[in-house]
Amino acid sequence: MGRKEEEGSGSWKKQTSNIRKTFIFMEALGSGAFSEVFLVKQKSTGQLFALKCIKKSPLNRDSSLENEIAVLKKIKHENIVTLEDIYESTTHFYLVMQLVSGGELFDRILERGVYTEKDASLVIHQVLTAVKYLHENGIVHRDLKPENLLYLTPEENSKIMITDFGLSKMEQNGIMSTACGTPGYVAPEVLAQKPYSKAVDCWSIGVITYILLCGYPPFYEETESKLFEKIKEGYYEFESPFWDDISESAKDFIRHLLEKNPSARFTCEEALRHPWINGNTALHRDIYPSVSAQIQKNFAKSKWRQAFNAAAVVHHMKKLHMNGMGDNSPTEQSSIIAISLSLSVPFHPFPSSHFKSEVLVPVKTSKHSSHCGTGQTGVCLIM
């Protein structure tokens, strides 16, 4: 991709003395403690990319970065964002990423006007196909959630893309033990601090499917400790009236993914064979009014856009925290805290309730209160 004189002897990166000789910087897409993401145009081809500029620092360990690069370099799938190239200067690493410009999954649902189970099924089919590919290549994403599912282009028939591999892990002997992920989407075995495997991704897909069919998360509580207990118990409901018009097949599909026992939980391959995905049981009945109202109520754009800008790709979430992006107000931006691991917790779906937790760091809050509390995963939680 780059000019010959800039290429180093390293097999996975190219040396550059001035990255602006290769790319035209068009606009900033986001910034964090150690990185910035820019929309850039490659001078030699005119192609647009998202360029993630990571400043070298003693606090930004190369091992964490190299893990992300090792994962991304191994991936080639139509529904997974592509790492196109890597450059290194004396001060920065530069990750040249495929530009994903079609917007967030929730935005697309809200814009549709009409939305059915079949639409949700088609999204989940793409997600399952991509995650099955990851698992076959020994990669566990570990942070699947709606804001990490973006559309490639603004076109109506655009593919869905899985992004954000900052927490991904190459499996070693099929077992991992580091507690990470986003509360509300994380599997019971992770919260129980037990060894876990690729089955954690399938649990997260179950949570995403649940949200896509009702607009609120299956697990919600007044405090994070109660939330974690409910997840560890695997307790959730298909509440009326939100689930009255949803097919029994969809509920059966979710039950197999939100299975507390990871060895009994559906694999991606098994989920792809389920009739709600592979057959004709996903209903064509319009569920837009109910789902869109709940999404707007429970997943305020200012909250989930803080984690990901629509056009930026693959944020380095471990050691890097992306500050408020998009069109957030200063008040909303001030509730974001730079911490070592950026996490988000879904909101309670009913207006009479709100999330509370022990306050670790004082923050200014916007319309929805945000506190930084401690949890059983041993990481700080953004709520």
The Cα 376–Cα 283 span in angstroms is 39
**Interstrand relation of 83-88 and 48-55 (parallel, antiparallel or unpaired):** unpaired
CB 224, CB 345: distance < 8 Å? yes
- Residue 56 annotated as part of some ligand binding site: yes
How far the first Cα of the chain sits from its last, in Å, is 40
CB 16, CB 94: distance < 8 Å? yes
CB 272, CB 253: distance < 8 Å? no
* Residue 94: both structure tokens together: 């530069």
201 is catalytic: no
The Cα 265–Cα 285 span in angstroms is 28
> Look-up: residue for tokens 């400043």?
55
Report in angstroms the alpha-carbon separations of 365 from 287, 362, 371, 382: 33, 9, 8, 12
Amino acid occupying residue 257 = L
- Sign (positive/negative) of CA torsion 293, 155, 274, 130? negative
Q: DSSP assignment, residue 346?
A: P
Task: Catalytic residue, from 143, 164, 252, 286: name it.
Answer: 143
Residues recorded for the chain = 383
Among 102, 40, 60, 49, smallest CA distance to 308 is for 102
Which segments are annotated as binding site for ATP? 56
Annotated catalytic residues are 143
Which segments are annotated as binding site? 56
